[in-house]
Structure 1
Amino acid sequence: MGLMFGIVLRVPTLAIHLDRQEKFEFNKETQLFPILGLISAELNKDGPTAALEGDDGKQNTEEKVEKPFSPLSAITERHHPAVVKLISEATESQPEDVLDFEMLLYDTQPGTLGGLNEEFIFSARLDNLGMTYCSIESLIASVEADDALDQEQGIRIIACFDHEEIGSQTAQGADSNLLPAVVRRLSVLSGDKDYDFASVSSTTSQASTTDHLFSPTTTYFEESLIKSFLISADMAHSVHPNYPAKYESHHRPEMNKGTVIKINANARYATNSPGIVLVQECARDAGVPLQLFVVRNDSSCGSTIGPMLSAQMGMRTLDLGNAQLSMHSIRETGGAHDVEHAIKLFKAFFQKYTALEPTIFV
């Protein structure tokens, strides 16, 4: 169950008058505590010691009631009782019914359009909810027509992963076997849209008729990987007007000028020339612009899940994303028109790939 609350916690910074360092630094262990409220007596009234106090606030001298054994200490001892009470009220339960929870703090200020002509998006988490949104919208748009899949020979997939910023090595991360496992299962399905899998799997005798599809000697999975193409869609860097020297002089993407294809000679991005040609043809069909990004030779380069998935699956891959400023800031800036650019580009990719794939020669 996911719960969302109002503005409950705040992590305040130290006033600049009290810290004259030019570089803003803080200790993650001791200086990132959020403020929940004031007046400790009020906040602690529901705490573990409340039961031992009388009406006058003095400690009771009566013997403590023995608690039943628990492998872990009570949830109100591990977390502030006020937080536990907040969760119990939101779930219409009692504090003692809350066994455990995970809490994530985020910027509560909603995203908004800005700029002279509302050409910017100011929002948290544009990286990478921006490209996630464009991917989902484009997949839906690609199948809106009644005959959208009549000539389709492949399967259109989007995969949205968690934990990319912390390494992707989780069950729901890109470095798991999630995508390969899903594609492997899909690769053995019948291409007959009228095929009744429910009836086939209803009896042992009927199920045996498809045993050959699930034989470990089949190569359907490997063949599908060779014919497939993966777009790793992750936000890209826009040229910063205050720091133009940080960018390679001939590769300075701008917001609202089209989705950015990312290239790196050290394979920090998975893009290669055949992929660029393919995406360029999709962009031509959609009528949307593209840009190229190459990091300076004397600068480090970030990476994406593109190289990771490309290595796992042996699949042709290209890295791209919409340009933005202030990546990884709590308040990022992106181009409003690039959302439409990316949706149109991905829609064309889904619709045209089956026809374009046989024309790709390396």
Structure 2
Amino acid sequence: MSELLVDLKAFLQSSPTPYHAVKAMAKRLDVAGYQYLDEADSWALSEGGRYYTVRNGSSIIAWCLPKAKSVIESGFRMVGAHTDSPCLKVKPQPEIHKHDYQQLGVEVYGGVLLNPWFDRDLSMAGRVSYLDVDRRRKQALVNFQKPVAVLPSLAIHLDRDANTSRTINAQTHLPVILAQGKHAGDFKSILSQQLIKEGVADVAEILDYEISLYDTQEPSIVGLADEFIASARLDNLLSCFMGLNALLNADSDEGVLLVCNDHEEVGSMSAAGAQGPMLSQVIERLVPAVEDRVRMLNRSMLISADNAHGVHPNFSDKHDANHGPLLNAGPVIKINANQRYASNSETSGLFKDLAQQVGVPVQSFVVRSDMGCGSTIGPITAAELGVKTLDIGVPQFAMHSIRELAGVQDVDSLIKVLEAFYKEKYV
């Protein structure tokens, strides 16, 4: 197994929530010599400097300023992705006791494919706000790591239509089993005990939390020839990983930037989402004068990286016959006439040229004309900044399932093209 895939598996396994993903990315940026900038502080930036900032613990922006010219002359080569994935989140008052079982009520986050969540070994992770022993408000990340919850299926003997017409009620069918009896205590007590186990010794009172359930099965390389990677949260931690690797690998003379936003799966409308002001505020601090900023953005481009639907051999009729991306056949340019994707002929042409230069094949995806089309942070960011934009991604199966599948060759391929983009002089 290549070192790249080893790193990818470790990143996916260490990132059960957006908070953990940003923490893992920040650690790699620290090692690479990037300087953390707190949004609440004044920023002193230098030519060729490497920096990053974090908002809400779940969104991150990293950038390098050009070495030999102003960023106004250079512009930014920007890559965007998102840190969140569809999942089940624990409710604020989740305790349910039925027939001697202790359960947790959950809320559906994003467009979850619900059936695969049944009969999995589930754990919990997220962020906790608490008071310490001196009654100071603090936050900490928590990750139970081991399986602590399960959502058993109903036996087919009791549901004879399970294979033909089963539907899932998110309110009544999804509470997970946490324990038998009432010995586990209330949920905040469980969190407090887990934080202490993880070395957070000053917890006096849990104030609130944002906790997600996740599958404990580790990422795997599968296929007779090791062609695929199977994991949770490939949409869209895979793009975060590829964008970060390209950023760290590219030794560019131009301005380069990586933005990974939270909340894409629920519309991006938040302070840390792509429809919020985080990226525009960072750019305003880098180029305060309006005219200079407009000139800089005119010399800039954004590549929005979010996985694409590979053509499933058992369901090929769900694709346009001429636009069915194959796994391990190269990154996919995503096109939609109604601007659900922000690609246009100029931005896709640049990407195709860069891909040819590094020997990477390119595919195209257009949704069937009689089906609805999803969207990405691409059109949102393009509208917020007024920057030309391209939507791309690597093809995958089982998008929004608890376990997804992508091609290992596509990971290396897209990193190569993104590196070339970061180095490109004219965009």
**TM bucket normalised to smaller:** 0.7 to 0.9
Deviation readout 1:118-164 (Å, 9 max, x if unpaired): 00011111100111110000011102xxxxx4xx2x41001001111
Please give the per-residue CA displacement for 1:68-87, whole angstroms capped at 9, x wherever unaligned.
Answer: xxxxxxxx5xx364444333
Structure 1 residues 242, 298: CA separation in 2 closer, same or farther (over 3 Å shift)? same
Q: Describe the shift of the 1:124–1:344 C-alpha distance in structure 2 as closer, same or farther (beyond 3 A).
A: same
Report the Cα offset of residue 97 of structure 1: 3.5
CA contact (8 A) 2:142 2:194 kept: no
Structure with bigger strand share is 2
- How far did residue 170 of structure 1 move? 1.3
Shift of 1:181: 1.1
How far apart, in 2, do the equivalents of 1:114 and 1:84 lie?
38
Which AA in structure 2 matches 1:43? A
> For 1:80 and 1:350, how far apart are their aligned partners in 2?
45
User: Residue 168 of structure 1 corresponds to which residue in structure 2?
Assistant: 268
d(CA) in 2 for partners of 1:182, 1:111: 34
The runs of 5 or more residues in structure 1 that have no matched partner are: 45-75, 144-148, 189-213, 358-362
Distance 2:170 2:178 in 1: 18
Find the counterpart in structure 2 of residue 157 from structure 1.
257
Quick one: structure 1 residues 340 and 32, their matched pair in 2 at CA, closer, same or farther if it must change by over 3 Å?
Answer: same
**Amino acid corresponding to residue 299 of structure 2 in structure 1:** K
The residue that corresponds to 1:58 in the other structure is: none
Distance 1:136 1:281 in 2: 22
* 2:315 pairs with one of 243, 257, 267: 243
Q: Is the 8 A contact 2:395 2:406 kept in 1?
A: yes
Q: Does 2:244 correspond to 1:136?
A: yes
Q: Does 1:14 align with 2:154?
A: yes
CA distance in 1, matches of 2:406, 2:391: 18
- 2:325 pairs with one of 249, 253, 267: 253
Question: More relative contact order in 1 or in 2 (CA 8 Å, sep 6+)?
Answer: 2
- Report if aligned partners of 2:188, 2:206 keep a CA contact under 8 Å in 1: no
Q: Percent identity?
A: 41
Q: Distance in 1 between matches of 2:404 and 2:242?
A: 17
Query: What residue is the counterpart of 1:206 in the other structure?
Result: none
Q: Is the 8 A contact 1:85 1:95 kept in 2?
A: no
After superposition, where does 1:305-320 map in structure 2 within 5 Å? 305-320=377-392
Paired positions, count: 285
- Partners of 1:309 and 1:100 in 2: how far apart? 31
SS in 2 for 1:253: coil
Q: What is the 5 A alignment of 1:146-295?
A: 149=252, 152=253, 154-188=254-288, 214=289, 218-295=290-367
Indicate how the Cα distance of structure 1 residues 133 and 92 shifts in structure 2: closer, same or farther if over 3 A, else same: closer
Give CA deviations for 1:246-284 in whole Å, capped at 9, x if unaligned: 111111110000000001111111010011111011111
Partner of residue 403 from structure 2, selected from 324, 331, 337: 331
**TM-score normalized by the length of structure 2:** 0.64
Residue 187 of structure 1 and its aligned partner are, at CA, apart by 2.4
Taking structure 1 as the reference length, the TM-score comes to 0.75
CA distance in 1, matches of 2:189, 2:155: 30
Please state how far the C-alpha of 1:43 moved relative to its aligned partner. Answer: 3.1
What is the distance in 2 between the residues matched to 1:125 and 1:351?
29
Aligned partner letter, 1:29: Q
Alignment deviations for residues 316-351 of structure 1 (CA, whole Å, 9 cap, x no partner): 001000000110011101001100001001000011
Work out which of the two has the higher radius of gyration on C-alpha atoms and give 1 or 2.
Answer: 1
